[in-house]
């Protein structure tokens, strides 16, 4: 068995709409944007991750940049497989003793259908996975935050990723009630693009909208230590002449308001279904926020004010799901909630 376990490599993969994170030997070895650049004529992989992201929106007709995941699930099977394989290869270059006989634990949205589960499993197997397990995102997030998921008291997690927001109440090693909505980081980016078009007559791409979100994104129109305005440059929609527009965090708070309200409604919906005993535990412990969306300024305060339950942002919200997937990988035999 010793030799066999030496030959079996174990990977935990957080296959996200925005970023893919791979954990190997308890360390994050790959943390790259979930995007690939493919040669249109030969279907050959040109770049993955950050290099492909730099090409996004700047390619000529022979190169296509593809984001293989949409709303948390695989939208382009071929590109997803190439991306997973390419990212696993990135580890090979860092580790000479890496063998391709893999056991993988991959993260999936809690609202995934059978077809979507199969797409993830097939992609992982084609990329070299021999034993493929899957774990639901809110479960992985809870493990990554450090909650005791097998305890009899309830915990509630809101994981706002790139494609989906996952809301779940967890107790006794299982998901008691959950909701997966397709409003998350990508939705915020699209809101910012639409707002800039309507209010300022300026056309901006995905990457610029993402930069605006990071620089001045906010969930509240009044923050204690506000960020400085961010200057957006682009073509005027009417004249195509270049213009510069300073954008304040108040504007972004206003333009994201609708989407954040929808997440609030979904959280209340899950709380409505929660059994009263678990509800009492949640009110006492508070609700945990993870995922990239948790980094939006003032989001925890806004939720706390609206829902009257304290919200806590996880320590490292971007990597909480990946860390939890890594913990699940170490305890594959112990955790009954992994999906085969």
Whether 155 and 142 have beta carbons less than 8 Å apart is answered as yes
The CATH homologous superfamily of the domain defined by 2-140+321-330: ATPase, nucleotide binding domain (3.30.420.40)
Q: Would you call 56 exposed, middle or buried from its count of C-beta atoms within 10 A (0-12, 13-18, 19+)?
A: middle
Q: Give the per-residue pLDDT at 250.
A: 95
Among candidates 64, 91, 69, 92, which has minimal Cα distance to 80? 69
61 — phi, psi (to 5°)?
Answer: -65, -20
What residues does each domain of the chain span? 2-140+321-330, 153-183+260-315, 185-255
Q: Give the per-residue pLDDT at 104.
A: 87
Report the b/e string of 182-197 with b at 16+ CB within 10 A.
bbbbbbbbebbbebbe
| Assigned CATH topology for domain 185-255 | Actin; Chain A, domain 4 (3.90.640)
Q: CA separation (Å) from 79 to 62, 100, 125, 150, 213?
A: 16, 20, 14, 36, 27
Query: Does pTM top 0.85 for this prediction?
Result: yes
Question: Residue 84 corresponds to which tokens in the numbers above?
Answer: 């997973």
Q: Give the per-residue pLDDT at 95.
A: 59
The reply to whether 153-183+260-315 shares the fold of 2-140+321-330 is yes
Q: In this structure, what DSSP letter does residue 317 have?
A: G
Give the largest CA-CA distance in the chain. 70
5 by DSSP, 3-state: which?
Answer: helix
**CA–CA distance, 285 with 256 (Å, rounded to integer):** 28
Question: Residue 216 corresponds to which tokens in the numbers above?
Answer: 């001045």
Question: Residue 120 corresponds to which tokens in the numbers above?
Answer: 């993830």
CATH of domain 153-183+260-315: 3.30.420.40
Question: Residue 256 corresponds to which tokens in the numbers above?
Answer: 């994201």
Spell out the residues 6+ positions from residue 279 whose beta carbon is closer than 8 angstroms to its own.
154, 271
pLDDT < 50 stretches in the chain: 1-4
């Amino acid at each position: 068995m010793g030799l066999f376990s030496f030959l079996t490599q174990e990977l935990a993969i957080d296959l996200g709409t925005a970023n893919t994170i791979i954990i190997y030997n308890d360390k994050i070895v790959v943390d790259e944007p979930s995007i690939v650049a493919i040669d249109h004529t030969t279907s050959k992989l040109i770049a993955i991750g950050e290099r492909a992201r730099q090409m996004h929106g700047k390619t000529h007709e022979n190169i296509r940049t593809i984001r293989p995941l949409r709303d948390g699930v695989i939208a382009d099977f071929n590109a997803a497989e190439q991306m997973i394989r390419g990212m696993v290869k990135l580890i090979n270059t860092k580790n000479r003793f890496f063998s391709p006989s893999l056991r993988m634990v991959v993260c999936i949205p809690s609202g995934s259908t059978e077809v979507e589960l199969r797409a993830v499993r097939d992609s992982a197997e084609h990329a070299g996975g021999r034993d493929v397990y899957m774990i639901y995102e809110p479960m992985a997030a809870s493990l990554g935050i450090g909650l005791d998921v097998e305890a009899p008291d309830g915990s509630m997690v809101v994981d706002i990723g790139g494609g989906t927001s996952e809301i779940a109440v967890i107790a006794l090693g299982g998901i008691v009630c959950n909701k997966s909505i397709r409003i998350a980081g990508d939705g915020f980016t699209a809101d910012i693009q639409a707002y800039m078009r309507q209010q300022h007559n300026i056309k901006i791409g995905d990457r610029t909208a993402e930069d605006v979100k990071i620089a001045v994104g906010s969930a509240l129109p009044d923050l204690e230590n506000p960020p400085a305005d961010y200057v957006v440059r682009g073509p005027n929609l009417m004249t195509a002449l270049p213009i510069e527009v300073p954008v304040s965090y108040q504007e972004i708070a206003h333009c994201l308001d609708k989407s954040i309200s929808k997440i609030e409604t979904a959280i209340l919906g899950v709380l409505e279904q929660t059994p009263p005993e678990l509800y009492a535990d949640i009110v006492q412990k508070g609700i945990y926020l993870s995922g990239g969306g948790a980094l939006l300024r003032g989001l925890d305060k806004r939720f706390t004010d609206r829902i009257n339950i304290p919200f806590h942002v996880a320590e490292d919200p971007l990597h909480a799901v990946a860390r939890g997937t890594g913990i699940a990988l170490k305890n594959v035999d112990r955790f009954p909630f992994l999906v085969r």
